[in-house]
Structure 1
Amino acid sequence: MPVKNVNELVQTVFSGMSPLVIDGVTDEGERIVVRARTPTEAAVWPVCGAPSGRVHGYQLRTVADVPVDDRRVVVRVRVRRLVCPTRGCRHTFREQVPGVLERYQRRTARLTRQVKAGVEELAGRAGARLLAVLAVGLSRHTTLRTLLRIPLPTGRTPRVIGVDDFALRRRHRYATVVIDAETHERIDVLPDRTADTLEVWLRKHPGIEVVCRDGSATYAEAIRRALPDAVQVGDRWHLWHNLCDATLSEVKAHSTCWATVLDAPIYDGPRAQTTLERWRQVHDLLDQGAGLLECARRLQLALNTVKRYARADQPERMLRVPKYRASLVDPYREHLRKRRAEDPAAPVKHLFEEIKALGFTGCLNLLHKYINQGRADADRSHISPRRLARMLLTRPDNLKTEQHGLLAKLTASCPEMTQLAAGIRDFAPLLTPHADNADALTRWIAQVREADLPHLRTFTRGLDRDLDAVIAGLTLPYSNGPTEGVNTKTKRIARQMHGRAGFTLLRHRILLG
């Protein structure tokens, strides 16, 4: 609809100040000045509630408003000081304009809303720079003060919560975030991740019925002490992650089995001899009745290293397949093999020029390394333990046709690899919550303990230590995934402030998010 006159244009541009009477607008170049006044109707004194229209005097307020055309807008409002008619009440009062002018503020309410929206996302210097582009001049200190004055959501006690820790300073200081696991709203941020702090918070918020967490024993103890009747739900992602680690360890332990299927060599140099000799030393001491700590002390090894050797029932299980990744030289392996068979003394420089003419885009050093590793003379497998573990853990529908055949060949290399593949295949459906998963998990644990898979048995012992929470995680629809998502956003906030934000400011931004 077209604008018919200047007054209608003014009312359109400055519609946010409709409770005021606009007397005029002046263009001063870098800024626009709006002259306005309050209407003549009676105003209500907020203390006694009595209306008054008797004017004692006038005062001029100067406030900033939303910019127009990239220029600052200054509003000069004439407000009345009225006389209160109630005997014994305060003699005079200055009228307020709710929704437009707030007490003691130098910005209109709508400009304040825009400033708060900017500082919520950026804060500090970044918020000040953004507001400067929008023709709102604020210092970084003012943006932080504005941010901290934004009221936090009122505290409430949800029925289902999620708790997780995040780093304030990695490996030194950590904090705890608490969210509503059903609505994903932030509830609170605690200054550390100790059991006592979480216990105190839980006791102040009765009514919580379900708590989602990871495998932290600290959180489990705090929940048990504060809310003994609450259901603790273990996180399914962490269960799968722990199974992935156990699978990788099992695949490494059976390298001598599946590597022979691909005619892949095993390390046979001095390092392999050292590994075999160390295995014999560890098991000799164990046969003599020495404990793991005593073995570590006598052999001057780390306790975890001794445990790893003690877990292997055969020395060959400690040997590994060389970790050869795919290389730019691989497409030219046959050419190199043929040329080196014809002329074993062929200079690497000449070979480099030949494959470069065939399309090789790598450098000379890469070719030197490839030849020195022996990869040009023998068929070395590119299947590393990590890659094989990844194929075992990938959903079968997402594997390529050739990967299905390769995986079937590798898992049939020994009974343990076959049992490992079957164990993973049986555990994966349990990650979809269902009421029958509790009995299925019990059967799966019993099946794994009958197999010769020590790393997977270690994983089942971890399940036993937190069995109730694990069963709840596999049978209930709740998850700690939303809490992990909040932690990801928290890391973005911390990086945005270059890691220099104190806990108070960081907590404020997390809860406002």
Structure 2
Amino acid sequence: MRVEDVNELVQTVFSGLFPLVIEGVADEGERIVVRAHTPTEAAICPVCGASSGRVHGYQLRTVADVPVNDRRVVVRVRVRRLVCPTRGCRHTFREQVPGVLDRYQRRTTRLTRHVKAVAKELAGRAGARLLAILAVGLSRHTALRTLLRIPLPVGRTPRVIGVDDFALRRRHRYATVIINAETHERIDVLPDRTAGTLETWLREHAGVEVVCRDGSATYAEAIRRALPDAVQVADRWHVWHNLCEAALSEVKAHSTCWATVLDAPIYDGPRAQTTLERWHQIHGLLDQGVGLLECARRLQLALNTVKRYARADRPERMVRVPKYRASLVDPYREHLRKRRSEDPGVPVKYLFEEIKSLGFTGCLNLLNKYINQGRADADRSHISPRRLSRMLLTRPDSLRTEQHELLAKLTGSCPEMTQLATGIRDFAPLLAPHADNAHALTRWIAQVRAADLPHLHAFTRGLDRDLDAVIAGLTLPYSNGPTEGVNTKTKRIARQMHGRAGFTLLRHRILLG
């Protein structure tokens, strides 16, 4: 290989060291040593900005560069110490090479960029392990210091923001994340979720016009105090989730209606008797004019429990169907029904051997429990209240034909179930933002309140408390979904650091994205 080719190859491999002048490359086995010096052009004084080419002396700097062929690269650069020509300024200064050598650094600029990229994704220990594989020797503490030196993005205050909380330590400490709801860019992370902290931040960032949030009353109060003219947008997912919970409660309350269609069993043991007695106790006190809180104190019950019993106008609405889950025996239920009808005294052990030959993989105890619960004698497999409510809340296009038929049969079991299905079907289109949804929501609330659906009444009262934000959520195209996405990524970051990171480091990684 000619000398010109060697020089060209060196310039190609170490092109990132430009504008240094490479004098030679030495192979020392585990590492590659590059000798270089700075160009002879004049340098600028970092204090007064005067140009100087007068050399006072030379110094040798040793810095690490990006590895080559899984081997460390060390660059030894001879730099000049120059004399400043300005009278009264510093006497001498050492020249710097922007883009290659940074002041006080033991790594080249491009290696520092690589370290920052790894530390940004993996932080300390994991980042140090990966860098070691890449032939970059670095401690976890240095990786974290490099990460914290990455400047955070600073932009203008957005017009539309999203606000949500996330757990630093579940049920103990929470923080608040703020993002640009239009660009999904992270704006800031606050150390708690109190109204005062958010109010202070909003006052310091004038220009916010729209705030997307969940149903938090704390955030709503902070926004009202700091930005009284700002539009608050309730998140549509949380509105739908609250409706789902209310619908599930209504389905449970009408278990005695739709369970008769399925010939499903109803609780009739000591638990059911206790439930009925408790209903009579609570309604007896309420009929005497005793308040809910006083009822809870006298009966030593939770206030929410008393409210749940108070919503039920009849004791039958507190009776539930058993929470049976799908069983391995379900596919063989018809065979069991047929055999038990032909021979009522057939031993369970014989039935077990028969269905086992048909492919049953469960145990004898599971079959015993299934038969004792009466599930083998029912006309159809058992359906739980949660599964029924799931069918009510699923898009009709996503249901199979047999599910449509079953749903129509169950919702026709009583007028309240029919009204519940109608209410859900009428509310679902409101989740697509449209200007006419405000009037449609008002009509829907009036329609629901005319029906005997106490749990949906509680849902409408919640809508009334935050009606302006709910209407904005159903009419404007903004939502808090991007903020929830940031929270999902935040959980990944927290798990990656095993919960050992302080708030400063966690905030830094969240804002870096």
Query: Could you tell me which residue of structure 2 aligns to residue 175 of structure 1?
Result: 175
Query: Could you tell me which residue of structure 2 aligns to residue 324 of structure 1?
Result: 324
Asked if structure 2 preserves the Cα contact closer than 8 Å seen for 1:157 and 1:206, the reply is yes
Query: Could you tell me which residue of structure 2 aligns to residue 475 of structure 1?
Result: 475
Query: Could you tell me which residue of structure 2 aligns to residue 119 of structure 1?
Result: 119
Counting matched residue pairs gives 512
Instruction: Give 1:343 deviation, angstroms.
Output: 5.2
What is the CA–CA distance in structure 2 between the aligned matches of 1:165 and 1:171, rounded to whole Å? 12
Asked if structure 2 preserves the Cα contact closer than 8 Å seen for 1:323 and 1:382, the reply is no
What is the CA–CA distance in structure 1 between the aligned matches of 2:203 and 2:66, rounded to whole Å? 46
Residues 1:378 and 1:449: Cα distance change in structure 2 (over 3 Å):
closer
Instruction: Give 1:4 deviation, angstroms.
Output: 6.8
Asked if structure 2 preserves the Cα contact closer than 8 Å seen for 1:324 and 1:381, the reply is no
Q: Secondary structure at the match of 2:33?
A: strand
What is the CA–CA distance in structure 1 between the aligned matches of 2:264 and 2:21, rounded to whole Å? 87
Identify which range, 22-31 or 254-263, moves more after superposition: 254-263
What is the CA–CA distance in structure 2 between the aligned matches of 1:324 and 1:125, rounded to whole Å? 47
Residues 1:64 and 1:46: Cα distance change in structure 2 (over 3 Å):
same
Instruction: Give 1:336 deviation, angstroms.
Output: 2.8
What is the CA–CA distance in structure 2 between the aligned matches of 1:12 and 1:267, rounded to whole Å? 81
What does 1:110-189 correspond to in 2, within 5 Å? 110-189=110-189
Query: Could you tell me which residue of structure 2 aligns to residue 39 of structure 1?
Result: 39
Instruction: Give 1:121 deviation, angstroms.
Output: 0.4
Asked if structure 2 preserves the Cα contact closer than 8 Å seen for 1:156 and 1:187, the reply is no
Query: Could you tell me which residue of structure 1 aligns to residue 506 of structure 2?
Result: 506
Give a deviation string over 1:434-489, Cα, whole Å, max 9, x none. 11111111111111111111100110100010111111111111111111111110
Query: Could you tell me which residue of structure 2 aligns to residue 20 of structure 1?
Result: 20
Q: Secondary structure at the match of 2:286?
A: helix
Residues 1:434 and 1:400: Cα distance change in structure 2 (over 3 Å):
same
Query: Could you tell me which residue of structure 2 aligns to residue 65 of structure 1?
Result: 65
Instruction: Give 1:333 deviation, angstroms.
Output: 2.1
Query: Could you tell me which residue of structure 1 aligns to residue 313 of structure 2?
Result: 313
Give a deviation string over 1:321-351, Cα, whole Å, max 9, x none. 1222221112222333344455555443343
What is the CA–CA distance in structure 2 between the aligned matches of 1:5 and 1:382, rounded to whole Å? 81
Query: Could you tell me which residue of structure 2 aligns to residue 394 of structure 1?
Result: 394
Asked if structure 2 preserves the Cα contact closer than 8 Å seen for 1:256 and 1:316, the reply is yes
Identify which range, 447-456 or 297-306, moves more after superposition: 297-306
Query: Could you tell me which residue of structure 2 aligns to residue 408 of structure 1?
Result: 408
Whether 1:370 aligns to 2:343 is no
Query: Could you tell me which residue of structure 2 aligns to residue 486 of structure 1?
Result: 486
Structure 2 letter corresponding to 1:134: L
Asked if structure 1 preserves the Cα contact closer than 8 Å seen for 2:292 and 2:307, the reply is yes
What is the CA–CA distance in structure 1 between the aligned matches of 2:4 and 2:258, rounded to whole Å? 85
Q: Secondary structure at the match of 1:5?
A: helix
Structure 2 letter corresponding to 1:313: D
Q: Secondary structure at the match of 2:419?
A: helix
Asked if structure 2 preserves the Cα contact closer than 8 Å seen for 1:165 and 1:193, the reply is yes
Query: Could you tell me which residue of structure 1 aligns to residue 234 of structure 2?
Result: 234
What is the CA–CA distance in structure 2 between the aligned matches of 1:406 and 1:116, rounded to whole Å? 58
Whether 1:299 aligns to 2:294 is no
Asked if structure 1 preserves the Cα contact closer than 8 Å seen for 2:266 and 2:322, the reply is yes
Instruction: Give 1:87 deviation, angstroms.
Output: 2.1
Q: Secondary structure at the match of 2:464?
A: helix
Instruction: Give 1:273 deviation, angstroms.
Output: 1.9
What is the CA–CA distance in structure 2 between the aligned matches of 1:331 and 1:418, rounded to whole Å? 30
Instruction: Give 1:234 deviation, angstroms.
Output: 0.6
What is the CA–CA distance in structure 2 between the aligned matches of 1:448 and 1:352, rounded to whole Å? 49
Residues 1:298 and 1:48: Cα distance change in structure 2 (over 3 Å):
closer
Asked if structure 2 preserves the Cα contact closer than 8 Å seen for 1:267 and 1:321, the reply is yes
Asked if structure 2 preserves the Cα contact closer than 8 Å seen for 1:163 and 1:176, the reply is yes
Asked if structure 1 preserves the Cα contact closer than 8 Å seen for 2:264 and 2:378, the reply is no
Give a deviation string over 1:84-105, Cα, whole Å, max 9, x none. 1222221211110000000000
Residues 1:240 and 1:173: Cα distance change in structure 2 (over 3 Å):
same
What is the CA–CA distance in structure 2 between the aligned matches of 1:243 and 1:357, rounded to whole Å? 46
Structure 2 letter corresponding to 1:383: I
What is the CA–CA distance in structure 2 between the aligned matches of 1:236 and 1:510, rounded to whole Å? 25
Query: Could you tell me which residue of structure 2 aligns to residue 195 of structure 1?
Result: 195
Give a deviation string over 1:288-312, Cα, whole Å, max 9, x none. 2222222223322222212111111
What is the CA–CA distance in structure 2 between the aligned matches of 1:450 and 1:377, rounded to whole Å? 39
Residues 1:373 and 1:263: Cα distance change in structure 2 (over 3 Å):
closer
What is the CA–CA distance in structure 2 between the aligned matches of 1:238 and 1:380, rounded to whole Å? 35
Residues 1:300 and 1:33: Cα distance change in structure 2 (over 3 Å):
same
Q: Secondary structure at the match of 2:427?
A: helix
Query: Could you tell me which residue of structure 2 aligns to residue 255 of structure 1?
Result: 255
What is the CA–CA distance in structure 2 between the aligned matches of 1:175 and 1:214, rounded to whole Å? 15
Identify which range, 47-56 or 127-136, moves more after superposition: 47-56
Structure 1 length-normalised TM: 0.97
Asked if structure 1 preserves the Cα contact closer than 8 Å seen for 2:375 and 2:382, the reply is no
RMSD (CA atoms):
1.6
Asked if structure 2 preserves the Cα contact closer than 8 Å seen for 1:256 and 1:319, the reply is yes
What is the CA–CA distance in structure 2 between the aligned matches of 1:189 and 1:444, rounded to whole Å? 38
Whether 1:222 aligns to 2:219 is no
What is the CA–CA distance in structure 2 between the aligned matches of 1:382 and 1:126, rounded to whole Å? 50
Structure 2 length-normalised TM: 0.97
Q: Secondary structure at the match of 2:452?
A: coil
Query: Could you tell me which residue of structure 1 aligns to residue 206 of structure 2?
Result: 206
Asked if structure 2 preserves the Cα contact closer than 8 Å seen for 1:99 and 1:109, the reply is yes
Query: Could you tell me which residue of structure 1 aligns to residue 107 of structure 2?
Result: 107
Whether 1:55 aligns to 2:58 is no
Residues 1:426 and 1:343: Cα distance change in structure 2 (over 3 Å):
closer
Structure 2 letter corresponding to 1:217: A
Structure 2 letter corresponding to 1:506: L
Query: Could you tell me which residue of structure 2 aligns to residue 497 of structure 1?
Result: 497
What is the CA–CA distance in structure 2 between the aligned matches of 1:406 and 1:337, rounded to whole Å? 21
Aligned sequence identity (%): 89
Could you tell me which runs of 5 or more consecutive residues in structure 1 were left unpaired when the two chains were aligned.
none
Query: Could you tell me which residue of structure 1 aligns to residue 86 of structure 2?
Result: 86
Identify which range, 291-300 or 15-24, moves more after superposition: 291-300
